[in-house]
Chain A
Amino acid sequence: MKELAGIYIIWLRDVKKFFRDKPRIIGSLAQPAIFLFILGSGLAISFQVFGGGGGKDYLEFMFPGIIGMTILFTSFFSAMSIIWDREFGFLKEVLVSPLSRASIVIGKNLGGSTVAMIQGSIILIFSPILKIPITVVSILKLLPIMFLTAMVISSLGITLAARLKTMQGFQVLTNFILMPMFFLSGALFPLVDLPKWMAYLVIINPLSYGIDAMRTVMLGNSYPQLHPLYINVIVLSAIIIVITFIGILLFNKQE
């Protein structure tokens, strides 16, 4: 009970701060909009020029990927706010409290994931403009998948943040972890007939399972699927458990 109250308040803090920061909500729509409307439309035309199917199909294919991208960045940045909290002293206030390290990690993860899920759902407002078919049912299926994907990324971010003392390492992480994760996630191109080394990287990329699952619940099997939905869900859940566990260990060890 007391641990639940702690998890709740850590979650609440992140969610409250998210809704309070209206410029951030609007600002973070810019990146997905650029990807969808400029890169997406541009690539769709080039696929027509170089032969192949209709251009609209590519936008449809890309759409779940862009939701995935939004979730990737939002939840990772949320997790990284731990480093800010460390730098500005707030983390100490949490660490010296009687709340267990496990609850701190879980509360933080749920907070970041909720924010990422909301941010990801906001992308859905672009779907009528791009004429992408979505139904209430597909949205209801999409939400838990978004949340699960966000939790994977959050747990990864939190675990890294346990060891990162300053924001300086952050740029490196963005370049060496976030960008490869994004490009190898199947967000922008289907992950079929890849060179061997890339295929391996896709297997260990947690985001590829999330985006595959999102595409399946949004668009059915009209595009190449990596795995059946249930496999994706199982793999995502397993990764969350393992990484969260490592994160808790690291926070416990920390001085």
Chain B
Amino acid sequence: MSNNIIEVKNLVKKFNNITAVDNISFSVKEGEIFGFLGPNGAGKTTTINIICTLLSLNSGDVTLCGYNVLKDKNKIRNCIGLVFQDPSLDDRLTAMENLNFHSLLYNVPRKLIKKRCEEVLETVDLTNRKNDLVRTFSGGMRRRLEIARGLIHYPKILFLDEPTIGLDPQTRHKIWDYIIKLKKNQNITIFLTTHYIEESEICNRIAIIDRGKIIAFDTPEALKDMVGMDIIIISSKDNNKLKFYIEKKLNKKVEIHEDDNIKFEVKNSSNFIPDFIKNCPVKITSINARKSTLNDVFLNLTGREIREEYMNAKDNFKLKMRFRTRM
């Protein structure tokens, strides 16, 4: 019980008449990587902002490191590090100056500032750029600098709100490497949000959030087990015969997929395929197996996919601004 570092009970947040966060409860254990997965506008950032004392709440109870979010704002602010969804560096200052600014805001002892700055810059591989203006940094470098900045005051919890949004796949990959490395080296709790499904798989536990509600909450493996099935797509010389065979002999529900592919689900594709090929009466031209992903989980729970189409005009604009400022 006592190792819950964040506890959220029955949290509700409304903006005028729109309920952004609708009575959610969850807890985060000390030292884990906890993830919020959901489409844009699901209420992820709103929840983070409330936990981080940046937004007020309508009702509910939020405690963090034992402090109440309404009563002990400053104590909470002292023990969290935050990487916002939107960039928040001063790009007319150098990397070092940004870190120094942060250190003084967070009351890091003067003697330690230089050492800590060097240390976090080392962690994110930016030591050789420390005296360059942030304007000259690429998007990925800025993101890494923001993560470094969030670590200077040795927070107990690091919040990462969409840490890889708007970055290219290679840089995204790198950012996740840093986060995993970080987790290994320091016993820090990490709370992240993302709408990239594959990225949320590094989490110890995930809450899937949609339209302000938590619709599933478990480990990534358990969530995937919920869907449980691997998907097999095959095509053959004679699809009708094949379909008949699978339906009658193997007792599986089959759907004819686009391009005349046959799609069905099995429990464990790696065991199933060798036997299937050996016994199949029809000549198979292609076979394709796919493990279930969290996207299938989301699809299963909501009937929709987590995709960019939920991005509204404002998000779109923000994204554009990001690219512009990150040029």
Contacts and interface: CB of A to CB of B under 8 A. Distances in A.
B178 interface: no
Given A92-B84, A96-B77, A255 B54 contact: yes
B106 interface: yes
B152 to A, nearest CB: 11
Contacts of B78: 98
Contacts of B97: 13, 16
Q: Which of B54, B92, B105, B106 has the largest number of chain A CB atoms within 10 A?
A: B105
B87 A89 contact: yes
B89 A98 contact: no
Contact of B90 (A6, A13, A99, A255): A13
B56 interface: yes
Contact of B104 (A9, A16, A85, A89): A9
A90 B89 contact: yes
B185 interface: no
B55 interface: yes
A45 interface: no
A122 B229 CA distance: 74
Given A9-B101, A13-B101, A98 B106 contact: yes
B65 interface: no
Contacts of B82: 96
A226 B53 CA distance: 48
Q: Which of A9, A17, A90 has the largest number of chain B CB atoms within 10 A?
A: A90
B160 interface: no
A92 B100 CA distance: 17
A93 interface: yes
Nearest to B318: A89
A89 B100 contact: no
A20 interface: yes
Contacts of B77: 96-98
Nearest to A20: B92
B167 to A, nearest CB: 16
B254 to A, nearest CB: 51
Contacts of A9: 100-101, 104-105
A88 B52 CA distance: 19
Nearest to B85: A89
Contacts of A5: 104, 107
A152 B45 CA distance: 37
Contacts of A44: none
Nearest to B83: A93
B282 interface: no
B92 A96 contact: no
Q: Which of A6, A94, A98, A100 has the largest number of chain B CB atoms within 10 A?
A: A98
Contacts of A255: 54-56
Majority secondary structure, A binding face: helix
Interface string A132-167: 000000000000000000000000000000000000
A34 interface: no
A98 B325 CA distance: 27
Contacts of B86: 89, 92
Interface residues of B, number: 29
B102 interface: yes
Contacts, number: 67
Nearest to A7: B104
B104 A8 contact: yes
Contacts of B80: 96
A165 B266 CA distance: 54
B107 A88 contact: no
B93 interface: yes
A94 B54 contact: no
B88 interface: yes
A131 interface: no
Contacts of B300: none
A94 to B, nearest CB: 7
Contacts of B90: 13, 17, 85, 90
Interface string A60-84: 0000000000000000000000000
A95 interface: yes
B74 interface: yes
Contact of A90 (B56, B74, B88, B107): B88
A17 B105 contact: no
A196 interface: no
Interface string B67-87: 000000010011010101011
Nearest to A97: B105
Interface in B226-267: none
Given A88-B87, A89-B84, A255-B56, A94 B93 contact: no
15 contacts: A2-B107, A9-B100, A9-B104, A13-B101, A88-B88, A88-B91, A88-B325, A89-B88, A92-B54, A92-B88, A93-B88, A93-B105, A96-B53, A98-B105, A100-B74
Given A9-B101, A92-B86, A94-B105, 18 more contacts: A5-B104, A5-B107, A9-B100, A13-B101, A16-B93, A17-B93, A21-B92, A85-B90, A88-B91, A89-B84, A92-B54, A92-B88, A93-B149, A97-B77, A98-B74, A98-B77, A98-B106, A100-B74
